[in-house]
Structure 1
Amino acid sequence: QCKGHCHGPHRPHMHSNHSAHGDKDLPGPYPLVEDPSTCDIVKATQYGMLERCRELVEAGYDVRQPDKENVTLLHWAAINNRQELVKYYISKGAIVDQLGGDLNSTPLHWAIRQGHLPMVILLLKCGADPSLIDGEGFSSIHLAVLFQHMPIVAYLISKGQNIDTTDLSGQTPLMLTAQKAMGPEPTRFLLKFNPSLSAVDNVQKNTALHWAIASGNISAVDLLLEAGASLDVKNVKGETPLDLAYQSQNHFMVYMMKEEERMRSRKNNRLLKIVEKYELFLMLASSLTFMWAIGYVMNLSSDSWLLKGGLLLCLLFGMALFVRHLVGLKNLRYLPTAFLLSSVFWMSMTWFFWFLADILYTQGLYFNLTLYTDVMGLLYYFYKTWSTDPGYIKTSEEERKENIVALAETGCLDFRTFCTSCLVRKPLRSVHCLACQACVARYDQHSLWTGQCIGVGNHCYYLLFLTFLTMTSVWLLYGTLLYWYNHCPTSYHQDGAWTYFTQVTYCSPWVSYISALACFHTVWASLWLAVQLYQIAFLGLTSHERMNLLIQRKSSKHPVSLRRTPYNLGCFQNLADFFQCRCFGMFKPNIIDWTKQYNVFHLAKEKNVHSV
Structure 2
Amino acid sequence: MEWPESGPECQLNCPHEHHGPHKHQGSYGHQEQYNNSSQAKSPAEHHSDLAFMEDYSNWDIVKATQYGIIDRCKELIEAGYDVRQPDKENVTLIHWAAINNRIELVKYYISKGAIVDQLGGDLNSTPLHWATRQGHLSMVVTLMKYGADPSLVDREGLTCLHLAVQFQHMPIIAYLVAQGQDVDAVDVNGQTPLMLATCKIIGPEPTRFLIKLNASVNAVDKVHRNTPLHWAAMSGNVAALTVLLDAGANVEVKNAMGETPLGLAQQNRNPWIIQCLMDANVDRSRNHLMLKFLKSFEKYKLLLLLLMAVIVIWVTGYVADLESDSWLLKSILFVSIWVTVQLVIRRFVSVQTFSYIPLAFLSASLFWMVVTWFIRFLPDMPDSCFQIPFALSITGCIYYFYRTWTAGPGYLRASEEEKKRTVVALAEADCLDPRIFCTMCLIRKPLRSKHCAICDCCVAKYDHHCLWIASCVGAWNQRYFVSFLFFLLTLVVWMTYGTIVYWSLHCATSYEKDGLWTFLTQIVSCSPWIVWIFLLVLFHSSWVTLLFVNQLYQILYLGLTTSERMCLIKRAHSGRFLGLRQNPFNRGCFQNLVDFFQCRCFGLFKPNQIDWTRQYSMGFEQPRAHEFQFV
TM over 0.5: yes
1:273 Cα deviation (Å)? 2.7
Matched residue, 1:85: 105
In the alignment, structure 1 residue 578 sits paired with structure 2 residue 596:
yes
Matched residue, 2:119: 99
In the alignment, structure 1 residue 145 sits paired with structure 2 residue 165:
yes
Matched residue, 1:450: 469
The residue correspondences of 1:378-389 to structure 2 (distance < 5 A) are: 378-389=397-408
Q: In structure 1, how many angstroms separate the alpha carbons of the residues matched to 2:623 and 2:474?
A: 26
1:541 to 560, 579, 591: 560
Cα distance change of structure 1 residues 476 and 255 upon mapping to structure 2, 3 Å threshold? same
In the alignment, structure 1 residue 463 sits paired with structure 2 residue 482:
yes
Provide the aligned length of Structure 1 versus Structure 2. 597
1:60 Cα deviation (Å)? 1.6
TM-score (normalizing by structure 1) = 0.93
Matched residue, 1:23: 29
What secondary structure sits across from 1:87 in the alignment?
helix
Matched AA of 1:459: Q
Matched residue, 2:587: 569
Matched AA of 1:562: L
2:301 to 266, 273, 279: 279
Q: Contact 2:24–2:33 (CA<8 Å) still a contact in 1?
A: no
Q: In structure 2, how many angstroms separate the alpha carbons of the residues matched to 1:462 and 1:13?
A: 59
Q: Contact 2:618–2:626 (CA<8 Å) still a contact in 1?
A: no
Q: In structure 2, how many angstroms separate the alpha carbons of the residues matched to 1:134 and 1:606?
A: 49
Matched residue, 1:47: 67
Matched residue, 1:588: 606
Matched residue, 1:132: 152
In the alignment, structure 1 residue 412 sits paired with structure 2 residue 467:
no
Q: In structure 1, how many angstroms separate the alpha carbons of the residues matched to 2:116 and 2:625?
A: 48
Matched residue, 2:7: none
Q: In structure 1, how many angstroms separate the alpha carbons of the residues matched to 2:249 and 2:505?
A: 65
In the alignment, structure 1 residue 530 sits paired with structure 2 residue 549:
yes
Q: Deviations over 1:88-127 (max 9, x none)?
A: 1111111111111111111000000000000000100111
Q: In structure 1, how many angstroms separate the alpha carbons of the residues matched to 2:395 and 2:482?
A: 15
Q: Deviations over 1:441-477 (max 9, x none)?
A: 0011100100000001111110111011111111111
1:313 to 330, 335, 344: 335
Q: Deviations over 1:363-414 (max 9, x none)?
A: x245224323322221221122122221111211101100110111011111
Matched residue, 1:346: 368
The residue correspondences of 1:110-509 to structure 2 (distance < 5 A) are: 110-266=130-286, 270-274=292-296, 276-360=298-382, 364-509=383-528
Q: In structure 1, how many angstroms separate the alpha carbons of the residues matched to 2:574 and 2:218?
A: 47
1:511 to 506, 530, 535: 530
1:178 Cα deviation (Å)? 1.0
Q: In structure 1, how many angstroms separate the alpha carbons of the residues matched to 2:208 and 2:297?
A: 30
What secondary structure sits across from 1:331 in the alignment?
helix
Q: Deviations over 1:551-588 (max 9, x none)?
A: 2122226x533354000011111111111112333321
Q: In structure 2, how many angstroms separate the alpha carbons of the residues matched to 1:571 and 1:184?
A: 44
Cα distance change of structure 1 residues 465 and 267 upon mapping to structure 2, 3 Å threshold? farther
TM-score (normalizing by structure 2) = 0.91
Q: In structure 2, how many angstroms separate the alpha carbons of the residues matched to 1:241 and 1:84?
A: 49
Q: In structure 2, how many angstroms separate the alpha carbons of the residues matched to 1:278 and 1:251?
A: 38
Cα distance change of structure 1 residues 458 and 11 upon mapping to structure 2, 3 Å threshold? farther
Q: Contact 1:389–1:458 (CA<8 Å) still a contact in 2?
A: yes
Cα distance change of structure 1 residues 398 and 253 upon mapping to structure 2, 3 Å threshold? same
Q: In structure 2, how many angstroms separate the alpha carbons of the residues matched to 1:70 and 1:33?
A: 28
What secondary structure sits across from 1:432 in the alignment?
strand
What secondary structure sits across from 1:75 in the alignment?
helix
Q: In structure 1, how many angstroms separate the alpha carbons of the residues matched to 2:546 and 2:457?
A: 28
Q: Deviations over 1:271-309 (max 9, x none)?
A: 243354433222111111111122122222333333322
1:136 Cα deviation (Å)? 1.1
Q: Contact 1:297–1:312 (CA<8 Å) still a contact in 2?
A: yes
Matched AA of 2:144: L
What secondary structure sits across from 1:184 in the alignment?
coil
2:22 to 1, 6, 10: 10
1:510 Cα deviation (Å)? 0.9
Q: Contact 2:25–2:121 (CA<8 Å) still a contact in 1?
A: no
Q: In structure 1, how many angstroms separate the alpha carbons of the residues matched to 2:622 and 2:492?
A: 39
Q: In structure 2, how many angstroms separate the alpha carbons of the residues matched to 1:608 and 1:199?
A: 46
Cα distance change of structure 1 residues 54 and 239 upon mapping to structure 2, 3 Å threshold? same
Q: In structure 1, how many angstroms separate the alpha carbons of the residues matched to 2:217 and 2:282?
A: 20
Cα distance change of structure 1 residues 187 and 73 upon mapping to structure 2, 3 Å threshold? same
Cα distance change of structure 1 residues 465 and 228 upon mapping to structure 2, 3 Å threshold? same
What secondary structure sits across from 1:278 in the alignment?
helix
Q: CA RMSD of the aligned region, Å?
A: 2.2
Cα distance change of structure 1 residues 520 and 421 upon mapping to structure 2, 3 Å threshold? same
1:325 Cα deviation (Å)? 1.0
1:267 Cα deviation (Å)? 7.0
Q: In structure 1, how many angstroms separate the alpha carbons of the residues matched to 2:529 and 2:238?
A: 49
Q: In structure 2, how many angstroms separate the alpha carbons of the residues matched to 1:503 and 1:404?
A: 69
Matched AA of 1:284: L
The residue correspondences of 1:49-68 to structure 2 (distance < 5 A) are: 49-68=69-88
Cα distance change of structure 1 residues 27 and 521 upon mapping to structure 2, 3 Å threshold? closer
Matched residue, 1:603: 621
What secondary structure sits across from 1:453 in the alignment?
strand
What secondary structure sits across from 2:262 in the alignment?
helix
Q: Deviations over 1:201-230 (max 9, x none)?
A: 121111111111111111111111111112
Q: In structure 2, how many angstroms separate the alpha carbons of the residues matched to 1:365 and 1:584?
A: 32
Q: Contact 2:204–2:240 (CA<8 Å) still a contact in 1?
A: yes
Q: Contact 2:20–2:34 (CA<8 Å) still a contact in 1?
A: no
Matched residue, 1:18: none
Q: Deviations over 1:333-365 (max 9, x none)?
A: 1111111011111111111221121112xxx24
Matched AA of 2:495: L
Q: Contact 1:427–1:597 (CA<8 Å) still a contact in 2?
A: yes
Consecutive unaligned residues in structure 2, runs of 5 or more: 1-16, 36-49
Range with greater deviation from structure 2 (119-128 or 287-296): 287-296
Matched AA of 1:292: W
What secondary structure sits across from 1:600 in the alignment?
coil
Q: In structure 2, how many angstroms separate the alpha carbons of the residues matched to 1:497 and 1:6?
A: 75
1:498 Cα deviation (Å)? 3.0
Cα distance change of structure 1 residues 55 and 524 upon mapping to structure 2, 3 Å threshold? same
Q: In structure 2, how many angstroms separate the alpha carbons of the residues matched to 1:99 and 1:609?
A: 45
Q: Contact 1:538–1:563 (CA<8 Å) still a contact in 2?
A: no
1:22 Cα deviation (Å)? 6.3
